């Protein structure tokens, strides 16, 4: 089962809506243990993607991901821009010339997440976006060889993302500004994990309503 890049405008719009609707809540999370500018930086990148969404839909997936990665790197401030850009550029490299089946996407996404780990010198358990990305990548790779119905894959992907986001609540931050707060970071959900969950769930919702 595959999806067309013609879906990109709808996907980008859904992501923009999800972030905008939760902007205040995520900013509160970020102000508690971070710099407080995560959402503003992310919205800047999403606005740039919105401006180019129609052009992106005319590209093949690998080309589109490459361009998305470069746009995010150049428009999203802070560490998030570098990490998100790295995710998409690495996905593009892995997917180049490959059919985008679920297995192909899982492989590309998995390699993208590994690149984020290397760039951020981080992993799941450090109270970052990786606490969402790593388990989602693991689930997709697990089911890619013998996948259940796509509806089930998308529903479970959303659940895995939510569980990963929630898991950061009781973690001790070890990366970024939050690491200086030490034990005070416990009891707070990581803002990057929250926005990663929102993005993944928004994409799953659109795909669930679209025939593959």
Q: Which residues contact 133 (CB under 8 A, 6 or more apart)?
A: 87, 113, 116, 164, 196
Mean pLDDT (the chain, rounded): 92
Q: What Å distances lie between residue 24 and 21, 58, 89, CA to CA?
A: 8, 34, 29
**CATH code at 200?**
1.25.40.340
Torsion over CA: 85, 29, 165, 17 (sign): negative
**135-156: average pLDDT:** 95
Which pLDDT score is estimated for 2? 77
If one counts the domains in the chain, the total is: 1
106 in Cβ contact with 141 (< 8 Å): yes
Q: What is the per-residue pLDDT for 179?
A: 54
pLDDT score at 27? 95
147: pLDDT confidence band, cut at 50, 70 and 90? confident
Taking residues 20-26, report their average pLDDT.
97
Residue located via tokens 């992907």: 157
pLDDT > 90: what percent of the chain?
77
Tens-place pLDDT, residues 89-137: 999 999 998 778 899 999 999 999 999 999 999 999 999 999 999 999 9
Residue reference for tokens 């926005």:
195
Residue 181 has pLDDT above 60, yes or no: no
- In angstroms, the CA 158 to CA 199 distance is 10
More confident residue, 9 or 37: 9
Instruction: Give me the pLDDT at residue 77, please.
Output: 78
Q: Do residues 157 and 110 lie in contact, with contact meaning Cβ atoms separated by under 8 Å?
A: no
**What percentage of the chain exceeds 70 in pLDDT?**
92
**Domain span holding position 77:** 5-208
- pLDDT for res 182: 55
Structure-block tokens of residue 199: 């993005």
pLDDT for residue 14 is more than 90: yes
- Residue 97 DSSP code: T
Confidence tier at 176 by pLDDT (50, 70, 90): low
Q: pLDDT confidence of 178, banded at 50, 70, 90? A: low
Residue 148 has pLDDT above 80, yes or no: yes
């Amino acid at each position: 089962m595959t999806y067309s890049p013609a879906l990109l405008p709808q996907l980008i719009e859904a992501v923009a809506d999800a972030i905008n609707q939760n902007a205040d809540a995520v900013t509160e999370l970020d102000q508690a243990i971070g710099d407080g500018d995560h959402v503003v930086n992310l919205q800047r990148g999403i606005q740039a993607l919105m401006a180019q969404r129609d052009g992106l839909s005319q590209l093949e997936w690998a080309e589109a991901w490459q361009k998305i990665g470069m746009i995010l790197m150049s428009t999203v401030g802070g560490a998030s821009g570098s990490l998100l850009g790295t995710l998409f550029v690495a996905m593009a490299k892995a997917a180049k010339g490959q059919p985008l089946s679920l297995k192909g996407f899982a492989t590309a996404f998995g390699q993208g997440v590994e690149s984020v780990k290397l760039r951020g010198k981080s992993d799941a358990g450090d109270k970052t976006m990786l606490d969402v990305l790593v388990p989602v990548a693991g689930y997709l790779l697990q089911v890619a060889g013998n996948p259940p119905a796509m509806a089930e894959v998308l529903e479970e992907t959303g659940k895995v993302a939510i569980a990963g986001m929630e898991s950061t609540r009781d973690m001790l931050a070890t990366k970024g500004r939050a690491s200086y707060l030490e034990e005070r970071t416990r009891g707070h959900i990581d803002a990057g994990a929250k926005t990663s969950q929102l993005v993944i769930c928004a994409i799953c919702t659109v795909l669930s309503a679209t025939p593959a």
